[in-house]
């Protein structure tokens, strides 16, 4: 639910706009990423803003290319803050993104066999608890290192995209500051440098309806 009553400072709005723009720009450069439904800097719940991506069809399986796309997109907000505001001005706004990326990377390594170096081996506790755990101290260290590598690689992938397409990042962020909420279709146009067609809300305001009742200027009794 939107928290329009929450007052954000201009600095927080700017930070949030670039953060969400970072997610959006990385997403549109990953074909495997779900299409963006909309992006907003209107606070919702505990989030100051968000980019909503929705799959075009129901999906049962989770492909490797989609996993790497999601990792990079999740790092896009943090990377945008680093590039625009600098290392010392990075906020805690990427907390949930980092949590999501770490959990995804953990599942890739320990459950889904998506690590080339560790192979298709189960390192997590099986759901039925019937198979033994393969977690020697050496394996634990390798698993942790591989999880970190996946997240760091995603961070670097997002950084490469946002550095190369810095103009797109700037345009989308400025659009968010102006409109607060923009659709996925609008984001694509804005990133390309195209203008978006937003109707003037004042032009569409309903005109007042003139009353057909007779005027009572002369003191005429109009009661039934």
DSSP per-residue codes, 208-220:
PPPP-SPP-TT--
The whole-model pTM stands at: 0.80
Catalytic residue among 2, 11, 12, 20: 20
Residue 100's pLDDT is: 94
Task: Give whichever of 26-40, 114-128, 210-224 has the largest mean pLDDT.
Answer: 26-40
Edge-first strand order for the sheet with 50-53 is: 50-53, 36-40, 181-183
SS3 category, 162: helix
Could you tell me where the beta strands, DSSP code E, fall in 87-224? 181-183
| 11 vs 134, more confident | 11
Task: Round to whole Å and give the CA distance between 99 and 105.
Answer: 10
Residue 223's pLDDT is: 47
Task: Round to whole Å and give the CA distance between 218 and 220.
Answer: 6
What pLDDT digit, counting tens, does each position of 37-50 carry? Answer: 999 988 765 567 78
Task: Round to whole Å and give the CA distance between 115 and 141.
Answer: 14
SS3 category, 184: helix
What is the enclosing helix (H) or strand (E) of 158?
A: helix 137-164
pLDDT at residue 9 is higher than 80 = no
Mean pLDDT of 196-223: 55
Catalytic (active site) residue 204: no
């Amino acid at each position: 639910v939107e928290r329009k009553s929450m007052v954000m400072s201009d600095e927080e709005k700017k930070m949030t706009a670039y953060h969400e723009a970072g997610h959006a720009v990385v997403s549109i450069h990953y074909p495997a990423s779900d299409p963006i439904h909309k992006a907003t800097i209107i606070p919702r719940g505990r989030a100051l803003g968000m980019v909503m991506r929705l799959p075009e069809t129901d999906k049962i399986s989770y492909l490797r290319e989609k996993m790497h796309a999601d990792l990079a997109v999740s790092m896009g907000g943090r990377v945008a803050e680093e590039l625009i505001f600098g290392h010392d001005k990075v906020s805690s706004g990427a907390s949930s993104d980092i949590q999501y990326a770490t959990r995804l990377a953990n599942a890739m390594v320990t459950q889904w066999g998506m690590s080339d170096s560790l192979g298709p081996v189960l390192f997590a506790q099986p759901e039925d608890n019937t198979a033994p755990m393969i977690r020697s101290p050496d394996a634990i260290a390798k698993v942790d290192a591989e999880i970190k590598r996946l997240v760091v690689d995603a961070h670097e992938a997002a950084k490469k995209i946002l550095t190369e397409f810095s103009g797109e990042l700037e345009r989308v962020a400025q659009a968010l500051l102006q409109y607060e909420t923009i659709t996925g279709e609008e984001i694509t146009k804005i990133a390309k440098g195209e203008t978006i067609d937003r109707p003037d809300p004042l032009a569409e305001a309903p005109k007042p309806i003139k009353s057909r009742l007779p005027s009572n200027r002369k003191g005429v009794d109009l009661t039934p």
